[in-house]
Amino acid sequence: MTEQNITGAVYAVELESLQGVETLVTDPVPKDRRKVFAALRWTAAVLAFAVAGAGTAYGVMRPERTDLPGLSTLSDGRWTYPAQARPELPAGAPLPRAADNRDGTHYGDLRGLLLTAPEGAKPDEGVKADKDGVVTPEAFLEEYAAESRPKLKESFEWEGVRKIVGRGWTMPDGTRTRVYLLRFHSSGFVDTFKGCDINARLNGVSTLEPDTVWSKTKAEQPTGVPQDPQGPGTLSSGDISVYREAKPVLGDEQTKLGCLQADDVQAVIVQTRKGEVATVPFHQTVILQSQLLS
């Protein structure tokens, strides 16, 4: 992973996993560089840099591959996302992991923290949200097997789910992506949510297993880089879990699941595709959503 200062204030990260995709963070340079989570090689994840302001824009660039020495001109399957920007915070409200925000509360508009769809995507009606992006608990629970829904619904009542928002899209190759953000009353309630782990009973999925590509590359991080950085603008490796449907899959589609715990917000990313879900765009989606929540 490389760093370079642009006019003293912009960090550029070349994601090897995305073959030249760059994420730009236009915030002041953080003093403690130990807060930078290591790039996960090949197709795995990068959890990027500390952010020191609201409304920060993230640009996802796709340079011509012939402009990048040593890279093939063939596509690696990554998607092109528009610039992502966090919502404005209310006056005086702190960032989620600021020193004066001990519980990591997200004070910005929850829908504004949802990853926007990439170029070429069409809205997916599988996410049943109202005009404001709000999803009812009942609509969200349609992602799960029928026998799992009553217990999860009961847990919502006890575990303090305040709001659920969602967005879905379908790509030309048939890949369907559904992203949900669940806001709880506090981070302690997020820890008790049982709908996003290896035991989650998703609708039409028999068994989940760890995403071995993600796990392998995370384990191969360079020595000397902290595994669980803390502070504003970071998500630790322990905050993100990535799973895939074990073979043989039910039906003709594979499902992959991304789970992100960001203090009082739980992100649930479900991606399905006929045959097999491609690794690069799935990991790319998880990475970018994690940046918006950090």
d(CA 282, CA 45): 10
pLDDT digits (tens, 9 = 90+) for 182-230: 998 877 788 888 899 999 999 999 899 999 999 887 777 654 433 333 3
pLDDT digits (tens, 9 = 90+) for 152-165: 998 888 877 889 99
Contact between 219 and 278 under an 8 Å Cβ cutoff? The reply is no
Between 18 and 108, residue with greater pLDDT = 108
d(CA 45, CA 212): 12
Residue 178, helix vs strand vs coil? strand
Which long-range CB contacts under 8 A does 277-281 form with residues at least 24 apart?
277/175, 277/244, 278/77, 278/173, 278/175, 279/43, 279/213, 280/17, 280/18, 280/43, 280/76, 280/77, 280/78, 281/77, 281/78, 281/79, 281/118, 281/171, 281/175
Q: What does the angle CA 181 – CA 185 – CA 187 come to, to the nearest 5 degrees? A: 75
**The predicted structure's pLDDT at residue 155:** 87
Contact between 22 and 10 under an 8 Å Cβ cutoff? The reply is no
d(CA 2, CA 16): 10
d(CA 238, CA 124): 30
Neighbours of 61 (CB within 10 A): 14
Whether this model's pTM surpasses 0.85: no
Residue 26, helix vs strand vs coil? coil
**The predicted structure's pLDDT at residue 66:** 37
pLDDT digits (tens, 9 = 90+) for 70-118: 334 446 889 999 999 888 887 877 777 777 777 777 877 899 999 999 9
